[in-house]
């Protein structure tokens, strides 16, 4: 007797998009994996390209995490359950699910897991973080405990966007944003714009947002008409950018959400923040950076950081399902799985004017 409940209709291979230590980007064919007793086989239908995916492809490393062998990319995914392991109880074939891709050890001896801060688990497995393959493939086996059922009014594209929304929700919560707080968001990329939507829903006002690209600022303005866009350039001095932010807000910011990780942008955030305010850094940047140390010290500006997220997916699903956050406009470019190279080119080329590129597989 088979240990799995199966569905027979499926494509014959598990096409995946991989990079390697030579910075190649390859569309490869592989075998369909078999789920274990507590796992589900997912037909991954929608996957967003994250900035980290592009970084692993172009640069081969993020911090100490390096590409040393062929690596399947992707961790912003949603799909359909097509096979269940023998002990799976919460999902059935045909369920539409979002994939949470940080899988902690969940051992009682692990303080991070025991206290609910599982993003700090030292044994966590994060799909697409070397050497663990990601979800940018047709078929992926996933633990049932880290699947989230999607309600009927959330599309698979929106389900894939729950991952960047989770990053933003973790930032909103950990930063301590309160109703009526004047806020600046630095960077109008996908995380910056999702943070804008979340901060607007949370009651921040007024809000300014910066970027080098006027198109991205226009998108931000179309989504939140009350936002104050601040166009910057790479040659701008951070102090000047800080002054422009303050002028745009009409006051100094209580909170700055820094979504780029770029040193000059971090500096501008500090210069735009009031005495006792907080600069909260969501973006990833160089391993070592300088900061205006004494400026921040004399003004008691807290500088805080974020590592992924925890317990955010259920909240993200509720916010989207109830209409408080509209993710649909973020997907600007769509490609098929076999068009992986073209998709990554669009995601990495500013002239493509992409906000979020997704790879879809019907």
Task: Name, in order, each residue with C-beta under 8 angstroms of 28's C-beta and a sequence gap of 6 or more.
Answer: 15, 16, 17, 18, 70
Q: Look at residue 286 in the predicted model and tell me its pLDDT.
A: 86
User: How is the chain split into domains, by residue range?
Assistant: 3-149+327-360, 168-305
The mean of the pLDDT values for the chain is: 95
Q: Which of 8-22, 91-105, 293-307, 313-327 has the lowest mean pLDDT?
A: 8-22
If one counts every other C-beta atom within 10 angstroms of the C-beta of residue 245, the result is: 27
According to CATH, the topology of domain 168-305 is Rossmann fold (3.40.50)
- 57-78 per-position pLDDT tens digit: 999 999 889 999 999 999 999 9
Say whether pLDDT at 40 is over 70.
yes
Say whether pLDDT at 9 is over 70.
no
Q: Look at residue 8 in the predicted model and tell me its pLDDT.
A: 42
Say whether pLDDT at 7 is over 70.
no
Q: Look at residue 63 in the predicted model and tell me its pLDDT.
A: 84
Q: Look at residue 1 in the predicted model and tell me its pLDDT.
A: 38
Say whether pLDDT at 93 is over 70.
yes
Say whether pLDDT at 191 is over 80.
yes
pLDDT category at 13 given cuts 50, 70, 90 is confident
Q: Look at residue 11 in the predicted model and tell me its pLDDT.
A: 79
Say whether pLDDT at 30 is over 70.
yes
Tokens of 258: 């820094």
CA pair distance 189, 259, nearest whole angstrom:
8
Helices (H), 17-62: 51-59
- 246-299 per-position pLDDT tens digit: 999 999 999 999 999 999 999 999 999 999 999 999 998 888 999 999 999 999
Q: Which of 203-212, 279-288, 306-315 has the lowest mean pLDDT?
A: 279-288
Q: SS3 of 273, please? A: strand
Q: Look at residue 2 in the predicted model and tell me its pLDDT.
A: 40
User: How far is the CA of 320 from the CAs of 43, 44, 144, 316, in angstroms?
Assistant: 23, 20, 22, 6
Q: Look at residue 285 in the predicted model and tell me its pLDDT.
A: 85
Q: Using an 8 Å Cβ cutoff, are 226 and 247 in contact?
A: no
Average pLDDT over residues 224-233: 97
Q: Which CATH number fits domain 3-149+327-360: 3.90.180.10, 3.40.50.410, 3.10.310.30, 3.40.50.2020?
A: 3.90.180.10
CA 301 from centroid of its chain's CA atoms: 26
Tokens of 192: 């910056």
Q: Look at residue 271 in the predicted model and tell me its pLDDT.
A: 98
Task: Identify the DSSP state of 334.
Answer: E
Q: Look at residue 281 in the predicted model and tell me its pLDDT.
A: 96
Q: Look at residue 217 in the predicted model and tell me its pLDDT.
A: 97
Q: Look at residue 64 in the predicted model and tell me its pLDDT.
A: 86
Q: Look at residue 58 in the predicted model and tell me its pLDDT.
A: 96
Q: Look at residue 120 in the predicted model and tell me its pLDDT.
A: 97
Q: Look at residue 4 in the predicted model and tell me its pLDDT.
A: 52
User: Cα 258–53–329 angle (5° rounding)?
Assistant: 65
């Amino acid at each position: 007797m088979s240990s799995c409940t199966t569905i027979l209709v499926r494509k014959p291979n598990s096409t995946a998009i991989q990079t390697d230590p030579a910075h190649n980007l390859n569309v490869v064919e592989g075998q369909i994996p078999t789920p274990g007793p507590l796992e589900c086989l997912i037909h991954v239908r929608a996957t967003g390209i994250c900035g980290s995916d592009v970084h692993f492809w172009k640069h081969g490393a993020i911090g100490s995490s390096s590409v040393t062998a062929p690596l399947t990319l992707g961790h912003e995914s949603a799909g359909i359950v097509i096979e269940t392991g023998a002990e799976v109880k919460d999902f059935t074939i045909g369920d539409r699910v979002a994939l949470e891709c940080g899988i902690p050890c969940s051992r009682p001896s692990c303080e991070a897991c025991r206290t609910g801060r599982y993003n700090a688990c030292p044994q966590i497995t994060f799909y697409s973080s070397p050497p663990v393959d990601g979800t940018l493939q047709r078929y992926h086996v996933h633990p049932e405990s880290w699947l989230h059922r999607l309600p009927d009014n959330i599309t698979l594209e929106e389900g894939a966007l729950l991952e960047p929304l989770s990053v933003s929700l973790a930032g909103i919560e950990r930063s301590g944003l309160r109703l009526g707080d004047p806020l600046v968001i630095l960077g109008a990329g996908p995380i910056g714009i999702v943070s804008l939507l979340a901060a607007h829903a949370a009651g921040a006002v007024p809000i300014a947002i910066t970027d080098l690209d006027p198109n991205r600022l226009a998108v931000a303005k179309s989504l939140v008409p009350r936002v104050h866009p601040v166009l910057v350039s790479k040659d701008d001095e951070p102090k000047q950018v800080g002054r422009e932010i303050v002028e745009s807000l009409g006051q100094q910011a209580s909170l700055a959400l820094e979504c780029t990780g770029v040193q000059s942008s971090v500096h501008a955030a500090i210069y735009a923040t009031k005495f006792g305010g907080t600069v909260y850094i969501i973006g990833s940047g160089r391993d070592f950076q300088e900061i205006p140390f004494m400026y921040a010290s004399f003004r008691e500006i807290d500088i805080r950081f974020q590592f992924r997220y925890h317990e955010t997916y259920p909240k993200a699903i509720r916010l989207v399902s109830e209409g408080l956050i509209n993710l649909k406009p973020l997907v600007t470019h769509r490609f098929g799985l076999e068009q992986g190279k073209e998709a990554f080119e669009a995601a990495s080329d500013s002239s493509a004017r992409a906000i979020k590129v997704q790879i879809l597989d019907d």
